[in-house]
Amino acid sequence: MNGEISLKAAIGQKKSHYQTQNRYKNIESRFDGTKIGGERLPLARTPLLATPSPRGSAPKTPKKLTFIELFSGIGAFYQAITNIVPNAKCVFAADINKDCAKVYKLNYGIESLCDLTKIETNSIPDHDFCFFSPPCQAFSKGGKRLGFEETRGTLIFEVFRILKSKIERGKPPKYILMENVRNLVSHDKGNTIRVILKGLHELGYRTPELPLILSPHQFGIPQLRERAFLPGIYDPENVHIPLNFDMGRLLSKNDNNIFSIIDEKDFDKTLQIRKEDIRTIDAWNEFYHAIDLKVIGFPVWADYFHSDKDISHFPNWKKDFIHKNEELYKRNKDFIDNWAEKWKVFTEFTPTQRKFEWQCGTNIKDISEALIQFRPSGMRVKVPTVAPALVAMVQTPVLGKLKRKLSLKECLRLQSFPDDFNFGEQSLHECYKQLGNSICVTVVQEVTKKLLEKEI
């Protein structure tokens, strides 16, 4: 095949989950990254950012629309499309996670528990819009980045199989929208996204040249969460012409304020941080006010204020940080010695609590004004403009002013879900996990509006 990956070969016939894995094993090694099937493709480059410009008139939207939601989770796509088209009807949803399926049925009345690798395509109703968000762990920086070598990475071809079946029956979905992690675009030097784009183009879908990289904060939702969005429209005669997407004027992080979604009257005791965390905050706040630096451009590591440890084998960047900690200690020795003794830093603090990162510049003057994260790398202090991305690891940030974690309702707001979204009778941990795995509804909504404006 001379390195060619044809859509027919990629989709094949419906196989078991494990056969699917074997079919795509080593798929990335079957092309050279610049030619696929004799076609010369663009070299990988920086993902396209939406072009800022004044927002235009309200989009033209259909009065009725049918859609399916693949890898549906807790229904971010459902929320978005029904916000735009209230009469939109979901005719099929699929997710392999039992807990997510329970929440989906509770909120939308639809049974979504389904393994796409085992579904017969003729059992899926015809539809106008196909939304899909394949598992991202195969491409995420937080995962092993095995891409198509991992079973989860091949599930995109199940989507192709469904689309191909509808097209062959003369019922192609007019619109598609895929969401995934930003790293999908650069994974395997751009080869992964080229395979996906080539597959969609062979099916007859026009797309942008590369996915749009968008974050909730650009639309006034105070969360920094860059994700790749790939919209498409069925237009087989013009697949060679990229779709032009102008997302309008996008906001910066500094245009946001985390307290826009905070309920300061929420005093739920379960949200309060531990006494030892409050003690850690108070200790480092005293430290910050007393030292001779107001902008700390390196992580503070108390263990290296005065250490006789051998650092010769450390990388240069780490050696540089250690030397800066030593200099900081020398200039502030009297205070730091008294401070460490007062707070029992070297006897009662954990190694993690002995680390401190100031990422606020001169924007705030006290840790109580900040957004705080307790991480393995230490206590990180950030300007309270945007929250870090909610992730499935449930590492929720702390509001320094209130000395509590974000509530579930506030995390719902960061993902643009309604306050009264129903998680049913499950653990709070599972609720945060499902939100962390979901998609910001507002971003989906804005991209979908632009896609629905497109005419062919």
What distance separates the 2 farthest-apart alpha carbons in the chain?
Answer: 80
| 20 band by pLDDT with thresholds 50, 70 and 90 | very low
Per the structure block, which two tokens stand in for 20? Answer: 């699917």
Per the structure block, which two tokens stand in for 113? Answer: 């528990």
- Please tell me the distance from the alpha carbon of residue 386 to that of residue 367, in angstroms, as a whole number: 16
Minimal CA–CA distance to 219: which of 197, 239, 247? 247
CB 321 within 8 A of CB 298: yes
Q: Which helix H or strand E contains 66, and what residues bound it?
A: strand 66-70
411 is known as an active-site residue? no
What type of residue is 333?
K
What integer pLDDT is reported at residue 136 of this predicted model? 53
Q: Write out the residue limits of the CATH 3.40.50.150 domain(s) in the chain.
A: 7-251+439-453
What integer pLDDT is reported at residue 270 of this predicted model? 86
CB 222 within 8 A of CB 385: yes
What integer pLDDT is reported at residue 13 of this predicted model? 42
| 63 band by pLDDT with thresholds 50, 70 and 90 | confident
Q: What values do phi and psi take at 79, rounded to 5?
A: -60, -45
Average pLDDT over residues 62-75: 93
Question: CA-based angle 445:447:448, to the nearest 5?
Answer: 65
What integer pLDDT is reported at residue 189 of this predicted model? 83
- Please tell me the distance from the alpha carbon of residue 441 to that of residue 76, in angstroms, as a whole number: 5
Minimal CA–CA distance to 302: which of 325, 321, 330? 325
Task: For 306-361, write each residue's pLDDT tens digit.
Answer: 888 899 999 999 999 999 999 999 999 999 999 999 999 999 999 999 999 999 99
Burial (Cβ within 10 Å: 0-12, 13-18, ≥19) of residue 182: buried
Contacts of 454 (CB under 8 A, 6+ apart): 233, 243
Whether the pLDDT of residue 78 is over 80: the answer is yes
Over the range 244-277, which residues count as b (16 or more CB within 10 Å of their CB) and which as e?
Answer: ebebeebbeeeebebeebbeeeeeeeebebeeeb
Question: CA-based angle 290:292:295, to the nearest 5?
Answer: 100
Task: Domain 7-251+439-453: give its CATH code.
Answer: 3.40.50.150
List the catalytic residue out of 90, 114, 136, 360.
136
Q: What values do phi and psi take at 379, rounded to 5?
A: -85, 115
What integer pLDDT is reported at residue 150 of this predicted model? 43
Task: For 81-124, write each residue's pLDDT tens digit.
Answer: 999 999 999 999 999 999 999 999 999 999 999 999 999 999 99
Q: Which helix H or strand E contains 428, and what residues bound it?
A: helix 428-437
